Structure 1
Amino acid sequence: MLFKTLLPTAALVAGASAASLGDVLSAQNSTLSTLNGLLSSNPDIVKVLDDASDITVLAPSNDALSKFLSNPDNAASVVSNPGLISALLSYHVLNGTWYTSNFTNTSTFLPTWLSNSSYANVTGGQVVEAALDNNNVTFWSALKQNTTVSQANLNFTGGTLHIVDTVLSIPGDLNSTLVAANLTSADGALAKAGTDLTSQLAGLKNVTVFVPSNSAFAAIANIAGNWTSSQVVDVLKYHVIDGTVDYSTLLKNNTQAATLGGANVTFTVDNGTIFVDSARIVEKDVLINNGVVHVIDGVLNPQNTTAKPNTSGSSDAPAFSGATGGSNSVPFTSGVATPTSKVPAATGATSSSTGLAVPLQTGAAGFAALFGGAAILLNM
């Protein structure tokens, strides 16, 4: 049974309210009636949560669930993949009791109950990013979709509950994330590298991937356009750290990390800007199912591991000698489909709630699938 196998073991937080989770949910029925209907049809789910200690529940409001299910882009994959509902609900339960006063302007990455290997290959469970954003407690999930707390600190015996305005999105794999984020040159480079590398990356647990933007590849178009598949593999492996998920808050000045290709990359942190060798991170902490992606403005060169950043300027010279770019040329994009949806990770824009959602049916059928899917939790 999924929830019982994922129950946290931390002790009950001192001073928590004596109310049960069911009591708190019932008291907020005008805002959480859709969620209450989902859970009341399977009261054992609430009991499992009620019996847990030291947890935080992110409860989507009626408007959040309505927006989620009415999205015309949502697919009917839940019919063929009912485990998606279980995973989605697990992703809304955080390990630890997190009151709004615990959050600051600095991001923290909180593990959730989502540890099903079909959806998460991260030690301790898939995370959400959390921080204050314009004085509002905000959570970021897949593709930098943001979810804001609309009502906070509804305490129950096992922890606390926050009502949120958007349903969290489960992070996808590296390839689907590159496509959705319009990082088409990197996606094309992976295709040129071949299935061996793609399969290897998909199977790794706990990875950090530095993904060059399209403009970063365009800046070395005259060189990259002539690479063999073997050369592409060598370059891409220099962009991957295996065995550790280095969220941006963990990257420290003048430190190094070994890459999948063996050579070390060097980190520089200057006035809050993070550089990897000579490339700067332009979009931090894009979550994927087995780790994290950071979008960078330059392609890293495994033959130039001493490349230094230009910390005083807005851009850096390519790490490849003789790079001149091309005339509106972006290498590796021939035949790569351009996504119809754009998300913040595509351009380094400010995070927005318009990120891609987990695919679900729309309208009444979607609600029926949600209610039916809840029963599945008790049998896994």
Structure 2
Amino acid sequence: MQLTTLLPLALASYAATQTQGLTQVLASQNSTLSMLNSLLATQPALTKALASAQNITLLAPSNDAFSKFISNPANKAIASDSAALMGLLEYHVLTSTVPASSFTTTMQFIPTMLMSSSSNSTVNINTTLSNVTGGQVVGGVKSGSKVEVMSGLKEISTVQTADIQFSGGVMHLIDTVLTLPIAPSMSVVDSSLTALAGALKNTNLLTAVNSLKDVTIFAPSNAAFQAIGSAATTLTEQQLAGILEYHVINGTVGYSSLLTTGLANESFPTLAGGEVKIENVDGKVFVNSAQVTITDILVSNGVMHVINNVLNPSNTTATPIPTATTQPIAFTGVSSASNVPFTSGISATTTAPSAAMETAGSAKAAAGRVEGNIGAVGVAALLGVVAAFLIW
């Protein structure tokens, strides 16, 4: 009798647990997620949408994650900016159900709910939060026994508790608030690509590059610009602009997973009009004769990869030497400068993981786990870095 009575009760309890909505599951985790719940309470439209959404994954920052986030004074401003807060929260919602078992040792790029602009934001930011077809993405990868999520500036969040089920999908508790991808002009500064930042400024391309949709940007390192330093003072503004535009593929977002597979060994039109050829040779990715050294710096309108040479739109037949430790320069008659060109008045405002050079040189290595400087840059990048550009 006792077993007969208890079994239906147990089954009913199990069924109730399996069909709990997100609101109920968040409430049940309030001791860990009270700060997230408080922020969601200020966004009734988003909360309502999430409550009825199906086939989603919520990456839920813990209280410790939010405490670390708001310890940066710049991040506190987000609490009083409804549109910016909405964007941040939307970026933590994947538009598909992704259990922990779906992550592999190869980086996957998963769309989020962040699709709208920050046009209603009171924060002085002249850019959109997302200008990527299908929604801004995060990168997800399995590192040992852990699942890690890569966001803007290659910041890493680690899943602490995985696979909390609710009726509309699954929730993972993470230890760090995700960093919103920011505009390319800001990302190059945070990634210590100060020569590129200065070159963009000198050609007045900042706004143009920021406003494009669905881009792949190949960003020459400071050393790459220094290697052609003798030409820096002789290039006209128009010539420099043409060179920079040759580094931008417009209309295709080529994450590392595509560079090594779907986009490999193909040519793509650039913003300058000419084409660049992408090649994957023994795990090394090349653009014309330049090697990709850092992949997947997520930006507001696509993705940026660092390369070790400046591309030359007048030398489209430049080919790589895969076995060489350094690649031939695509410009003739140039020499290295003692100082990095275009950097006058430009300095990196933060030291993000995206500023750390890869040593392996392969897209797979560059897309893997980022070690070291994992800071709560988050919306501080949106609020603080802007100040550096407002004076330009």
Pairwise TM-score range, normalised by the shorter structure: 0.7 to 0.9
Aligned partner letter, 1:104: T
CA 1:32–1:354: 2 relative to 1, 3 Å: same
Structure 2: give runs of 5+ residues left out of the alignment: 1-16, 119-128, 359-369, 383-392
Contact persistence 1:208–1:292 (CA under 8 A): yes
Match of 1:100 in 2: 100
1:227 to 235, 244, 248: 235
Match of 1:184 in 2: 194
Measured in 2, the distance between the counterparts of 1:222 and 1:170 equals 37
CA 1:236–1:360: 2 relative to 1, 3 Å: closer
Range with greater deviation from structure 2 (44-53 or 218-227): 44-53
Aligned 1:2-41 pairs, distance under 5 A: 17-39=18-40
* TM-superposition CA deviations, 1:164-197 (whole Å, max 9, x none): 0000111111111111111110011111112xx3
Match of 1:294 in 2: 305
Measured in 1, the distance between the counterparts of 2:264 and 2:51 equals 43
Check if 1:353 corresponds to 2:362: no
2:326 to 307, 315, 324: 315
Check if 1:169 corresponds to 2:179: yes
* TM-superposition CA deviations, 1:79-136 (whole Å, max 9, x none): 4x43111111111111000001111111111111111123111111111111112332
Measured in 2, the distance between the counterparts of 1:112 and 1:288 equals 14
Match of 1:53 in 2: 54
Check if 1:305 corresponds to 2:316: yes
Contact persistence 2:43–2:86 (CA under 8 A): no
Contact persistence 1:143–1:355 (CA under 8 A): no
Structure 2 counterpart SS, 1:76:
helix
Range with greater deviation from structure 2 (132-141 or 54-63): 132-141
Measured in 2, the distance between the counterparts of 1:360 and 1:266 equals 33
Measured in 2, the distance between the counterparts of 1:128 and 1:266 equals 26
CA 1:26–1:323: 2 relative to 1, 3 Å: same
Aligned length: 342
Check if 1:133 corresponds to 2:134: no
Structure 1: give runs of 5+ residues left out of the alignment: 1-15, 362-380
Contact persistence 1:142–1:355 (CA under 8 A): no
User: Normalising by structure 2, what TM-score?
Assistant: 0.82
Structure 2 counterpart SS, 1:149:
strand
Measured in 2, the distance between the counterparts of 1:294 and 1:41 equals 37
CA 1:334–1:40: 2 relative to 1, 3 Å: closer
Identity %: 44
Measured in 2, the distance between the counterparts of 1:23 and 1:77 equals 26
Aligned 1:144-293 pairs, distance under 5 A: 144-194=154-204, 197-251=205-259, 252-293=263-304
Contact persistence 2:109–2:137 (CA under 8 A): yes
Measured in 1, the distance between the counterparts of 2:189 and 2:340 equals 15
Aligned partner letter, 1:71: N
Match of 1:342 in 2: 351
Bigger relative CO (Cα 8 Å, ≥ 6 apart) = 1
Aligned partner letter, 2:287: V
Measured in 1, the distance between the counterparts of 2:102 and 2:296 equals 20
Match of 2:85 in 1: 85
Measured in 2, the distance between the counterparts of 1:43 and 1:234 equals 47
Coordinate RMSD, CA, aligned:
2.2
Match of 2:363 in 1: none
Measured in 1, the distance between the counterparts of 2:169 and 2:84 equals 25
Measured in 2, the distance between the counterparts of 1:340 and 1:117 equals 24
Aligned partner letter, 2:340: V
Q: CA deviation at 1:75?
A: 6.0
User: Normalising by structure 1, what TM-score?
Assistant: 0.85
Aligned partner letter, 1:238: Y
Aligned partner letter, 1:99: P
Measured in 2, the distance between the counterparts of 1:188 and 1:254 equals 31
Measured in 1, the distance between the counterparts of 2:356 and 2:314 equals 28
Measured in 2, the distance between the counterparts of 1:107 and 1:36 equals 30
CA 1:324–1:86: 2 relative to 1, 3 Å: same
